[in-house]
Amino acid sequence: MHQSKRIISTAAFTLSGTSQASAAFGSQTYHIRIAAGDQPAYFKIGDGTPTATASDALLPAGWVDYLTVSPGQKIAVLQAGAAGSLSVSELG
C-alpha cells in the first residue's frame, strides 16, 4: 500500500526501439508513478540524460510501479516488446 500523493504532472510516451528520456523532474518531485500499457518496457532513472537498454529494469505490460527519485533526475524508457505506451507521473 502506498501513501496517497497528488499528481504534479504526467508525461506520456509512445514506446519505440530507441530510448527516450523525460524532461528533468521538478524541484519538489521525490516520487514518480510509472504505468505500462499493453506492452512491457525497460526503464532507467538517472542524472543527466539516461539511456534505457535491454539490460535495465523491466516494467511488465499492464503494471504500475512507484519509485523514489531526486529532483532534476530523468527517466528513460525503451520498448521491450512491440510498440506500446507508458506514462510517468510526478508525485508530490
Q: CB–CB of 21/76 below 8 Å?
A: yes
Q: CB–CB of 31/66 below 8 Å?
A: yes
Residue 2 lies in a domain: no
CATH number of the domain residue 20 falls in: 2.60.120.10
- Read off the pLDDT of residues 13-55 as tens digits, 9 standing for 90 and up: 999 999 999 999 999 999 999 999 999 999 999 999 999 999 9
Domain tally, the chain: 1
Confidence of residue 1 (pLDDT cuts 50, 70, 90): low
Q: The domain containing residue 48 runs over which residues? A: 7-91
Q: Is 38 left (phi over 0), alpha (psi -120 to 50) or beta?
A: alpha
Give the type of residue at 12: A
Average pLDDT, the chain: 96
User: In 3D, which of 56, 4, 57, 11 has the Cα closest to residue 31?
Assistant: 4
- State the Cα–Cα distance between residues 51 and 45, nearest whole angstrom: 9
Residue 43's φ and ψ, nearest 5 degrees, are -145, 155
